[in-house]
């Protein structure tokens, strides 16, 4: 235990020195960490990371340890990353991040068990029916068993809804739907619960934030899905709202979004913000103006979201602009800047200086109503010790 703490404070010390070279006084006056501001209200704050970003144990790693109480593997748990042959998974890929979380006592979100977009080719080639169902259940069961006690929640099926298909249940047309049928979601959730009864099971969805007819339809479809799952006694504990914001795009209606969260909470479910960031392709080049717009988007969104007490987890999809899928142009091309300037989607810039988005997050946590003590932050963090 002692070496862990020593190492964490050594890293934090290194970071303070980096931000305030030669000035002890400045280090002592350093702003609080987001993890502490969130925890003061019973909220768990974290970021996605990649194993390779942590391997160097550099200033970025120190920043993650300073600011985050939770981490999420950005890609390493995705089935396609782990498996290239039928029923063979390379657990060493996620293990590195899981071990990091354990070593530094960070809560760990499991992301994700099934995602149509990152499903191995061999699975897509399986015959319909039984063999596909057993391969899916096996994947879910193995992941949940292996990381039992170290992962506090799982995104079981990522992005299950697509309102464009015209199906009454609005289920996305995926390989799982094709090969197993509309019950695949319930089967996956049951397998997850059986393999790790303590992990929270999350339905994680995008495109449900803005005030557009398509987003409104999708919110309704998500609610109907969650209601059906509850009615069928399918184990489900939370809705994950991805929250990839878009500056200068669609309008945002705080009351409509707020009402949606209340409807989800009324089903007895918790809510997590799972992938907060902001594309800035429509914002001006000038950095102060751009950072101001990104911060405003964070603030407006978070003020509405954090007003809902069932929302206890906030995760940004990265911590610093040094490592972001938007900056790397791995997001949809409509999120890329046309002038070729690097985007600035996250709370810290690429040199790890705080941006106004950081200030917006800090202010939102400070203003948030307190959550029931011990419901979120503390239990997720205690998991590593209690169940290992």
Closer of 174 and 242 to ligand XIL (Cβ): 242
Q: How far is the CB of 51 from ligand XIL (least distance, A)?
A: 12
Three-point CA angle 260, 226, 316, nearest 5°? 60
Instruction: Give bridge partners of residue 315 from the DSSP assignment.
Output: 46
Based on CB atoms, which residue is closest to ligand XIL, 118 or 228?
Answer: 118
Please, which residue, 66 or 323, has the CB nearer to ligand XIL?
Answer: 323
Nearest partner of 160 among 269, 242, 244, 231, judged by Cα: 242
Min dist CB 111 to ligand XIL, Å, is: 6
Nearer to ligand XIL, 83 or 158 (CB): 158
> Which residue do the tokens 């590195």 mark?
96
CA dihedral for 317, 383, 238, 190, sign (positive or negative): positive
Residues shown for the chain: 388
Q: How far is the CB of 116 from ligand XIL (least distance, A)?
A: 11
Q: What whole-number distance in Å separates Cα of residue 70 and Cα of residue 109?
A: 7
Nearer to ligand XIL, 133 or 205 (CB): 205
47 or 242: CB nearest ligand XIL: 242
Least distance in Å: CB of 139 to ligand XIL? 16
Which 3 state secondary structure label does DSSP give 99? helix
Q: Two tokens at 202?
A: 């999350």
Residue 257 or 325: the one with the smaller Cβ distance to ligand XIL is: 325
CA distance 371 to 142: 33
Cβ atoms 191, 140 nearer than 8 A: yes
CB of 72 to ligand XIL, least distance (A): 9
- Minimum CB separation of residue 3 from ligand XIL in Å reads 32
| Closest residue by Cα to residue 211 from 260, 167, 172, 170 | 260
Which CB sits closer to ligand XIL, 53 or 75? 75
- 11 vs 68 by CB, closer to ligand XIL: 68
Q: Cβ distance 222 to 205 under 8 Å?
A: yes
Q: How far is CA 341 from the centre of its chain?
A: 26
**Which stretches of the chain bind ligand XIL, using CB under 6 A?**
74-75, 158, 206, 242, 275, 325, 330
Which of 141, 243, 246, 225 is closest to 183 using CA atoms?
Answer: 225
> Least distance from C-beta 316 to ligand XIL, angstroms?
12
Contact indicator for 281, 274 with CB cutoff of 8 Å: no
Shortest Cβ 142–ligand XIL spacing (Å): 20
**Site of tokens 């988007």:** 297
DSSP helix/strand/coil, 354: strand
Name the residue number minimizing CB distance to ligand XIL.
325
Q: How far is the CB of 206 from ligand XIL (least distance, A)?
A: 6
């Amino acid at each position: 235990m002692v070496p862990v703490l020593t190492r964490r404070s050594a890293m934090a010390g290194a970071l303070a020195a980096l931000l305030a070279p030669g000035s002890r006084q400045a280090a002592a006056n350093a702003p609080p960490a987001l993890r502490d501001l969130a925890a003061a209200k019973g909220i768990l704050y974290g970021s996605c990371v990649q194993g390779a970003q942590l391997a160097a144990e550099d200033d970025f790693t120190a920043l993650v340890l300073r600011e985050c109480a939770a981490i999420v593997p950005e890609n390493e748990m995705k089935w396609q990353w782990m498996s290239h042959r039928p029923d063979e998974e390379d657990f060493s890929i996620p293990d590195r991040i899981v071990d990091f979380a354990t070593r530094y006592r960070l809560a760990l979100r499991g992301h994700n068990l099934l995602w149509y977009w990152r499903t191995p080719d061999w699975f897509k080639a399986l015959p319909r029916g039984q063999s596909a169902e057993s391969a899916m259940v096996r994947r879910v069961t193995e992941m949940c068993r292996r990381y039992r006690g170290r992962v506090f929640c799982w995104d079981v099926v990522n992005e299950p809804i697509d309102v464009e298909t015209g199906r009454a249940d609005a289920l996305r047309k995926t390989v799982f739907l094709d090969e197993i049928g509309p019950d695949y979601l319930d089967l996956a959730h049951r397998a997850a619960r059986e393999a790790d009864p303590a992990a929270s099971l999350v339905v994680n969805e995008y495109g449900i934030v803005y005030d557009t007819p398509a987003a409104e339809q999708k919110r309704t479809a998500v609610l109907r899905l969650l209601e059906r799952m509850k009615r069928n006694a399918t184990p489900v504990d939370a809705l994950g709202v991805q929250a990839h914001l878009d500056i200068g795009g669609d309008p945002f209606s705080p009351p409509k979004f707020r009402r949606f969260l209340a409807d989800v909470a009324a089903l007895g479910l918790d809510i997590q913000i799972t992938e907060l960031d902001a594309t800035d392709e429509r914002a001006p080049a000038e950095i102060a103006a751009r950072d101001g717009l990104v911060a405003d988007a964070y603030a407006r969104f978070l003020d509405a979201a954090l007003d809902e007490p069932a929302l206890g987890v906030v995760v940004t999809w990265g911590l610093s602009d040094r490592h972001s899928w938007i900056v790397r142009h791995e997001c949809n091309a409509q999120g890329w800047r046309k002038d070729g300037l690097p985007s600035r989607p996250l709370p810290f810039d690429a040199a790890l200086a705080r941006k106004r988005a950081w200030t917006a997050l800090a202010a939102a946590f400070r203003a948030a109503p307190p959550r029931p003590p011990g419901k979120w932050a503390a239990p997720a963090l205690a998991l590593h010790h209690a169940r290992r």
